[in-house]
Amino acid sequence: MFAFLVRRLIQAVLVMFVISLISFSIQDNLGDPLREMLGVAVSEAERERLREELGLNDPFLEQYWRFLQKAVQGDLGNSYFFKRPALEVIMEKLPATVELVLGATLIIVTLSVPIGVYCAIRPKTWLARTLMGLSIIGISVPVFLTAILLIYVFSIHLGWFPSYGRGDTAMIGFWETGLLTRDGLIHLVLPSIALSSIMLPLFIRLIRSEMMECLEQDYIRFARAKGLSNRRIWFIHALKNTLLPVITVGGVQIGTMIAFTILTETVFQWPGMGFLFLEAVNRTDTPLIIAYMIIVGLIFVVTNTLVDLIYGLVDPTVKLARRI
Amino acid sequence: MRKLWQAVAGSDLYYHFKRDKVAIASFSTLMLMVLISFTAPLIAPFDPYDPMQIDIMNSDIPPSWVENGEEQFKLGTDAQGRDMLSTMMYGTRISITIGLLAVCLQLVIGITLGLVAGYFGGRIDSILMRIADIQLSFSTLMVAIIVLAIFQASLGADLYGEYALLMLVLVIGIAEWPQYARTVRASVLAEKEKEYVDAVRVIGLGPMRIMFRHILPNTLSPVLVISTVQVANAIMSEAALSFLGLGMPVNQPSLGSLINAGFEFILSGSWWITTFPAIALILLVLVINLLGDWLRDVLNPKLYKG
């Protein structure tokens, strides 16, 4: 366990180091910080003096070290557009994205397990066939198209749900939440469905195939021979082993989900990190782009480590230290 | 040619194919779409790249069967006055091209590294697989969005537009190599222990020849299965990136950028600009996925999970 944590930590540091190196070289090459600060109406000699003063003429490594020292303290520079610390701007938008992911995860977990299990234990029924057919269509429809379709049907035609924004929010400490107001919850419905639309069929198919594989194994046959009820075999013995690989895939998919939040947030104008990031790209707001990269990198590293840890706890046969 | 046909007709794959209606339907749809899109310059009613044929006065015309529609524009026109049908044909061609090229790149990188890792083992193997693990833990789309965003911001939108196709192929191609590398490596590990490999080694063939001529052909069936799904994924990624404005530019639209362009007008009632490219995109990805499913059921290789 300890060895695993140490190795994982080294790997995490390595990944973050690469990300910071990339971020820094972007900062170095993307736009001129002096122009952002001063505008164009400053003489060349004055620029050169400031350049020297700000340390922009120092060697690469020296500048990088300074960047790193600041970054570790949470200082990633000021956003050119908002004129405020980039990290602060990103963190303000984090709750919106997290709640969106939460909503989608809730839909995926509550629907994929029962449907996947049903399709595995009754594969020949028409309902299972229909569900599997729908799932392959679901995988083939890009998230942004589902989002547009949902807006078209439920906002424009039926008018049941709002088509953009987060609605009313309430503050709990520093966390701006939309989960506590009725308006906020209504706004969350369509984006969550859209975000879950591609993962849900993926998980249904995964759970189904894993479960079917499980049901063919010897220990299930033994359980049958012992006279256990079908219900007990399915939901206690088979399901447990089915969910193991699902955890691993789930960990990877959290990352994909964050990528899809960018798409969902763009279509629904959801004021989260992804939407902010795209705006930052269009404005060439380098500090904000870097802040987003670092936050997302951190989320990836942390979730992957957590998933591996959970995997080790759930399945004692896995030697964590050997799983890198 | 006749020999080749006999080989195909006598194969297991063809035997199963003949008996599966879904597979036949998807394969013919896919072939039809490929044919129509790649012969677009010959059969399309208009050339969307030719400014002489585009008249801004023709913009926003609904499909011909709707009121106010015009007979010459079967599926209507977009906001710039381009014929939707022709633009979609050209767009499908771009989408398919990017999907295929990106997967070719993945194949080359992934197979080479997978072979090397599996065959030589040891330190090379553990380093390559470590890199693959790390790269897989970051989602392709995320990496692609960030990389392309940075390139677009530093090159400027116009210059970026010229290289968009190349960039998309490179990013999608490089980001997904671990899929192949892991699968190939797993098969190589199993193949390496077999006697025929020992035999060719005793004959004195070099590692390159053993890897590519003798082991590689025996690892190809999982590669084939993954490839179909990967082409579908690459087309989807391209569409998503173009939808975000990080992919193909407006004057050279893929299906994704057409949907993006139409999305602005969907609220004002011009549904056809989004709907037709969307249907084409879904159909394209769906038939490839159906074919992939069918291939996996027939070949049933041991795929690398996780």
Angle at B177 between CA B176 and CA B181, to 5 degrees: 135
Substitution target in A10, A19, A140, A283 with the highest count of B β-carbons within 10 Å is A140
**What is the model's pLDDT at position B104?**
92
More confident site: A59 or A131: A131
Check residue B58 and report its DSSP letter: G
Q: Kindly list the residues from chain A whose CB atom is less than 8 angstroms away from the CB atom of residue B259.
A: 144-145, 148
Does B147 contact A at CB distance below 8 Å? no
Nearest to A84 by CA among A254, A291, A235, A322: A291
Q: Is the distance from CB of B287 to CB of B29 less than 8 angstroms?
A: yes
Number of neighbours of residue B210 by Cβ within 10 angstroms:
19
In this complex, the residue of A26, A256, A282 whose CB is nearest that of residue B139 is A256
Structure tokens at A143: 């998230």
Q: Confirm whether the ipTM is greater than 0.85.
A: no
Which residues face A78 on adjacent strands?
A85
Cβ pair A140:B293 closer than 8 A? no
Q: Is the distance from CB of A294 to CB of A71 less than 8 angstroms?
A: yes
Q: Kindly list the residues from chain B whose CB atom is less than 8 angstroms away from the CB atom of residue A148.
A: 259, 263, 266, 274, 278
Q: Long-range contacts: B265-270, Cβ < 8 Å, 24+?
A: B265/B60, B265/B79, B266/A148, B266/A151, B266/A152, B267/A156, B270/B60, B270/B62, B270/B79
Give every residue of chain B whose pLDDT is below 50, as ranges.
304-306
Query: Which domains occur in chain A, in start order?
Result: 88-284 (1.10.3720.10)
Which residues face A258 on adjacent strands?
none
Distance CA B293, CA A12 (A): 36
> For residue B303, is it left (φ>0), alpha (ψ between -120 and 50) or beta?
beta
| Mean pLDDT (chain A, rounded) | 79
Q: Are strands A175-177 and A170-172 parallel, antiparallel or unpaired?
A: antiparallel
Q: Kindly list the residues from chain A whose CB atom is less than 8 angstroms away from the CB atom of residue B146.
A: 293, 296
Distance CA A122, CA B240 (A): 35
Give buried/exposed letters for A126-136 (b at 16+ CB in 10 A, else e): eebeebbeebb
Query: Which domains occur in chain B, in start order?
Result: 74-299 (1.10.3720.10)
Q: Which residue of B has its CA nearest to A292?
A: B146
Q: Which residue of A has its CA nearest to B139?
A: A256
What is the amino acid identity at position A87?
L
Number of neighbours of residue A263 by Cβ within 10 angstroms:
26
Q: Write the CA distances from B260 to A48, A277, B233, integer angstroms.
A: 44, 18, 19
**What is the model's pLDDT at position B306?**
36
Cβ pair B243:A142 closer than 8 A? yes
Does B141 contact A at CB distance below 8 Å? yes
In this complex, the residue of B142, B150, B259 whose CB is nearest that of residue A145 is B259
Nearest to A11 by CA among A300, A312, A310, A314: A300
Mean pLDDT of A232-254: 79
Distance CA A57, CA B198 (A): 60
**What is the model's pLDDT at position B101?**
93
**What is the model's pLDDT at position B160?**
79
In this complex, the residue of B145, B259, B290 whose CB is nearest that of residue A262 is B145
CA B80 to chain CA centroid, Å, is: 28
**What is the model's pLDDT at position B301?**
60
Matching residue, tokens 């011909």: B64
> For residue A111, is it left (φ>0), alpha (ψ between -120 and 50) or beta?
alpha
pLDDT, one tens digit per residue, over A182-208 is 777 778 888 888 888 888 888 888 888
Q: Is the distance from CB of A34 to CB of A47 less than 8 angstroms?
A: yes
Confidence of residue A178 (pLDDT cuts 50, 70, 90): low
CA A163 to chain CA centroid, Å, is: 22
Q: Is the distance from CB of B115 to CB of B187 less than 8 angstroms?
A: no
More confident site: A323 or A107: A107
In this complex, the residue of B130, B142, B244 whose CB is nearest that of residue A296 is B142
Cβ pair A143:B240 closer than 8 A? yes
